[in-house]
Amino acid sequence: MSKLVPAPDGLVGRRFDVALAKMMGISRAKAADLIESDQVRVIGRDLGKSGILGEHDTIELDLHRDEPAPEPIATDMAIAYEDDDLVIVDKPVGVAAHASVGWTGPTVLGSLLDRGVHITSYGAPGRQGIVSRLDVGTSGLMLVCKSELAYKEMRRQFSEHEVIKTYHAMVQGNLRQDRATIDAPIGRAKVSDFRFTVTPAGKEAITHWDVLERFGEATLARINLETGRTHQIRVHFSSIGHPLVGDPMYGANPRLAEELGLTRQWLHAMELEFRHPRTHLTTVVTSRYPTDLRHALDLMHQRKAQGTQGQ
């Protein structure tokens, strides 16, 4: 299927690639690619990318080879910290760290590049600058490296567990202890490629937690990770009978999540503490609860107050 478009009056006399870029809202390089691959052409004459668009020209766009839709951009993703070496974003829920097979939503890396933020070329293609990730369903602070120096040093700090990563999570039930450590290896669950589980064959995983507030039916906890396994917090708390509120994949009660208006697990990356890769000064960056988690927490306070009044 092709589409015919008369040359716009305002673009007559311009180079073909420049005119096409303006018409389609794409880069000049992309426009040139479309012309050179014969996906866009001028009817009746052989006009190259540097040719001049005429007043009576008709442009034919060959649409049967549509390009993939551009990646959505996370326009609401705030930047919590930035300098010449690092950028730390406050990642919203529903944003992946980077592109992956099957993911069609926004990514941290793509959204930063779209804003013109320079990211180091160090790292795997499509994951450059990333030394630590957050799940799509987890919000909060995520660090990306802008310089080669930062990438090498922050990768070392994360791998040697020198970065203090603090999360807040609301778990179901009443945790018996005020603080404790879960030391249990994590590996892929045999029942699903997407789930993980505590297993002797897994990799070392250590989670420290202490209670911030008790609601009876749930507990708000501060969590520090020594390791960074996929789904570590979710798996560890599920393994001790306290899955995260709003996390049915790991055993949470869907009714409680519905009553709290949650469509994902109550988990937020609250704070990062590390030595700056260039200055070596201790750097601490903090976040706040996003709207959905704050709303659920407020409802828990109401439920707790109503339960107290009824006694």
Claim to verify: residue 11 and residue 84 sit in the same structural domain: no
Same domain, 13 and 135: no
pLDDT tops 70 at residue 311:
no
Q: Are residues 101 and 18 in the same domain?
A: no
The one catalytic residue among 57, 85, 90, 135: 135
Alpha-carbon dihedral sign for residues 112, 117, 118, 120: negative
Residues 22 and 157 in one domain: no
Q: Is 132 contained in some domain?
A: yes
* Whether residue 175 is found in the same domain as residue 241: yes
Domain that holds residue 211: 78-309
Same domain, 154 and 199: yes
**Phi–psi pair at 218, nearest 5 degrees:** -155, 165
Please check whether residue 71 lies inside any domain of the structure: no
d(C-alpha 88, C-alpha 78), whole Å: 9
Of 12, 44, 65, which closes a domain?
65
> pLDDT digits over 52-89, tens only?
998 888 898 885 555 566 789 999 999 999 999 999 99
Using one digit for the tens of pLDDT, what is the confidence trace for 223-267? 999 988 989 999 999 999 999 999 999 999 999 999 999 999 999
Q: What's the CA dihedral at 88, 89, 93, 95 to 10 degrees?
A: -100
The percent of residues above 70 in pLDDT, for the chain, comes to 95
**CATH (domain of 106):** 3.30.2350.10
Residues 7 and 58 in one domain: yes
pTM for this prediction:
0.76
Last residue of a domain, one of 44, 65, 86: 65
Contact assessment for residue 79 and residue 141, using Cβ atoms and an 8 Å cutoff: no
Same domain, 172 and 114: yes
Q: What are 210's two structure tokens? A: 């202490």
Which of 65, 87, 108 corresponds to the end of one domain?
65
**Alpha helix locations (H) across 85-240?**
108-114, 148-159, 232-239
Same domain, 297 and 179: yes
Task: Answer yes or no: do 16 and 98 share one domain.
Answer: no
Active-site residue, 247 included: no
d(CA 234, CA 167): 12
Would you say residue 124 lies in a domain?
Answer: yes
Round to whole Å and give the CA distance between 85 and 83: 5
Q: Judge if 216 and 243 occupy the same domain.
A: yes
Residue 201 backbone dihedrals phi, psi, to 5 degrees: -85, 0
The CATH number of residue 14's host domain is 3.10.290.10
Task: Name the pairing type of β-strands 40-42 and 206-214.
Answer: unpaired
Give 277: exposed, middle or buried? Use CB within 10 Å, 0-12, 13-18, 19+.
Answer: buried
Least confident of 20-29, 199-208, 253-262, 263-272: 20-29
Cα–Cα separations (whole angstroms), residue 101 to 70, 104, 105 = 15, 8, 11
Whole-number average pLDDT of the chain: 91
Number of folded domains that form the chain: 2
Paired with 274 in beta bridges are: 283
Shared domain check, 217 and 89: yes
